[in-house]
Amino acid sequence: MGIKVAQVADGTVDVGAKLAAQLGDPAVVVYFASPKHDPESLAAEIARFFPAAATFGCTTAGELVSGAMTKGAIVAMGFDKDVVSRAVVSIVDGIRNSTDGIDRTFSEWARRLGQPMLELDPERWVGLVLVDGLSGAEERVMERIGDLTNVVFIGGSAGDDVAFKQTFVAAGSRAASNAAVLALLECPNGFDVLKTQSFHATRQFLVPSKVDKAAREIIEFNGKPAAIAYSEALGVKPDELADQFMAHPLGLMVGGEPFVRSPQQIVGQSVRFYCGVDEGMKLAVLDSTDIVEDTTAALKKALDRNPGTKGLLSFNCILRTLELEAKGQTDAYGKVFASVPTAGFSTYGEEYIGHINQTATMLLFR
Amino acid sequence: MAGQIKVMIDQIIENRSKGNALLVSTTQTKLILKGFDPAKYDASSPDDPAVIARLRQVAADLNVTL
């Protein structure tokens, strides 16, 4: 009973059988798989080996399992009914062009559950969302979900080992791109959400005064070309700005915590980000702090708040993973999760109420 | 005239949260992500017609009747 974690390494054959041997007969299986494993055949195989379970997952840019970060692997978490008593899972297709599929999915779920999505108890139900990480649609997906329900949805954007060619999400026997997987879980013992990022806000702010929202580009900050204003705020020359992106992204401050907006590249004198920003949104310039130290402290606090946590799902930004790799801290980061059954992956973006970057979002199950 | 934007924001938060503190917080966050920081508006904030029109659309999206 409870939660079990499974892992199969790169090159493993009979993946479904090996996962089934580790997970037993759970009610729900969530998995995160390196794109080295063909997403469509993997989805079909996992569905075949867990015929009574709701199965869903996505491709990754690296995985996380209790005590270790991995590459090329498949990690999975199986939930028994005492932890997740009911689950509904759907793939929403065509998210690049429209979020209408979310409305249709929620209407169908309301019929199946016999309760409107707006009336579900947000302390008993939680949502998981896995999005095609190259769709550029996460902001609209999260906004529409938030419009239609008070249930909190948390998750991440699928990866493809930093190839940036194609990512997949999967539910049941089907895998798809240009799609999102939505899952609604009833947790009779409750759950908790942890959002942690390793930055503190400086006293410097930048306000986008001209944006190309569809392209996730800021053209001007404070009426000046964005790259110029950003470099001035950091006290560096414009040609040094890109080198500062990892350590000094911007943050939309909510209750004293940043919702991080990470710059991706300079385009002319504009700055393209990994998530969308609106004109007039006051953004704090952020300073980086230590990921391992901060995550250790944040997780300890969350586990103290939730004694007897049975397991957690983690959605860790690929930019954090790249920083951990550059600093030789991946082993140390994996060990942060040694004491609690964990499955997770390195994402192309994190979801929690909205779309965020350079963050780890986690869902703890009691 | 002033203060209408704060009234509208308060109505949206009240309608969606029904007084539940968790939902007050998440609804405030949703509004901030949509570009409406509740802390930026008070009873003396001018009734900017463009902001009010955008906020009416946000309320409709959130299934809140103002």
CA distances from A341 to A3, A81, A171, A337 (A): 8, 17, 22, 8
* Residue after which a domain boundary falls, among A266, A288, A310: A288
Q: Give strand pairing partners of B60.
A: none
CB-CB neighbors (< 8 A) of B30 in chain A: 143, 146, 353-354
CB-CB neighbors (< 8 A) of A280 in chain B: 35
The whole-number pLDDT of residue A12 equals: 72
CB-CB neighbors (< 8 A) of A353 in chain B: 26, 29-30, 33
Residues A49 and A73 in one domain: yes
Quick one: tokens of A300? 């300890």
Residues A61 and A124 in one domain: yes
The whole-number pLDDT of residue A171 equals: 98
Residue span of the structural domain in which A267 resides? 199-288
In a mutational test of the B interface, the residue from A144, A150, A277 whose CB has the highest number of chain B CBs within 10 Å is: A150
The whole-number pLDDT of residue B51 equals: 93
Pairing of strands A74-79, A3-8: antiparallel
CB-CB neighbors (< 8 A) of A148 in chain B: 63
Contact call for A122 and B20, based on CB within 8 A = yes
Q: Please state, in angstroms and rounded to a whole number, the distance separating the CA atoms of residues A79 and B14.
A: 35
Contact call for B33 and A148, based on CB within 8 A = no
Across B14-35, average pLDDT: 94
Query: Which residues of A make CB contacts under 8 Å with B?
Result: 118, 122-123, 143, 146-148, 150, 152, 252, 254-255, 259, 278, 280-282, 353-354
Residues A79 and A138 in one domain: yes
Q: Which of A118, A252, A278 sits opposite B63 (nearest CB)?
A: A118
* Residue after which a domain boundary falls, among A267, A288, A309: A288
The whole-number pLDDT of residue A13 equals: 79
Q: Give strand pairing partners of A88.
A: A184
In a mutational test of the A interface, the residue from B20, B29, B63 whose CB has the highest number of chain A CBs within 10 Å is: B29
Asked if residue A1 has pLDDT above 80, the reply is: no
Q: Which of A122, A147, A254 sits opposite B32 (nearest CB)?
A: A254
Contact call for A278 and B35, based on CB within 8 A = yes
Residues A60 and A134 in one domain: yes
Q: Please state, in angstroms and rounded to a whole number, the distance separating the CA atoms of residues B52 and B47.
A: 7
CA distances from A182 to A46, A126, A142 (A): 18, 11, 11
Asked if residue A168 has pLDDT above 90, the reply is: yes
Please tell me the total count of domains within chain A.
Answer: 2
CB-CB neighbors (< 8 A) of A117 in chain B: none
Across A157-169, average pLDDT: 97
CB-CB neighbors (< 8 A) of A354 in chain B: 29-30, 33
* Residue after which a domain boundary falls, among A242, A259, A288: A288
Query: Are B6 and B45 spatial neighbours (Cβ–Cβ below 8 Å)?
Result: yes
Residues A102 and A247 in one domain: no
Q: What's the pLDDT tens digit per position in A262-307?
A: 999 999 999 999 998 889 999 999 999 999 999 999 999 999 999 9
Q: Helices (DSSP H) in chain A: which residue ranges? A: 15-23, 39-49, 100-113, 138-148, 226-234, 291-305, 318-326, 330-336
Give B19's pLDDT tier (boundaries 50, 70, 90). confident
Q: Give strand pairing partners of A29.
A: A55, A78
> A184 CB contacts (<8 Å, ≥6 apart)?
A87, A88, A89, A109, A120, A125, A126, A127, A151
Residues A223 and A257 in one domain: yes
Burial A11-45 (b: 16+ CB within 10 A, else e): eeeebbebbbeebeebbbbbbbbbbebebeebbbb
Contact call for A255 and B29, based on CB within 8 A = yes
Q: What's the pLDDT tens digit per position in A65-99?
A: 999 999 999 999 999 999 999 999 999 999 999 99
Residues A212 and A107 in one domain: no
Contact call for B34 and A353, based on CB within 8 A = no
Q: Give strand pairing partners of A347.
A: A317
Residues A147 and A263 in one domain: no
Contact call for B62 and A150, based on CB within 8 A = no
Query: Are A26 and A80 spatial neighbours (Cβ–Cβ below 8 Å)?
Result: yes
Asked if residue A61 has pLDDT above 80, the reply is: yes
Could you write out the three-class secondary structure of A237-258? CHHHHHHHCCCCCEEEEECCEE
ipTM over 0.90: yes
Q: What's the pLDDT tens digit per position in B29-65?
A: 999 999 999 999 999 999 999 999 999 999 999 999 9
Across A101-117, average pLDDT: 97
The whole-number pLDDT of residue A60 equals: 98
Number of H helices, E strands in chain B: 3, 0
Give B1's pLDDT tier (boundaries 50, 70, 90). confident
CB-CB neighbors (< 8 A) of A255 in chain B: 25, 29
In a mutational test of the A interface, the residue from B14, B18, B33 whose CB has the highest number of chain A CBs within 10 Å is: B33
Residues A284 and A299 in one domain: no
Residues A320 and A349 in one domain: yes
Q: What's the pLDDT tens digit per position in A171-208?
A: 999 999 999 999 999 999 999 999 999 999 999 999 99
Q: Which of B16, B23, B35 sits opposite A280 (nearest CB)?
A: B35
CA-based nearest distance A147→chain B, Å: 5
CA distances from A161 to A11, A64, A298, A337 (A): 16, 14, 27, 22
Across A126-148, average pLDDT: 97
Residues A65 and A138 in one domain: yes
In a mutational test of the B interface, the residue from A147, A153, A209 whose CB has the highest number of chain B CBs within 10 Å is: A147
Residues A254 and A157 in one domain: no
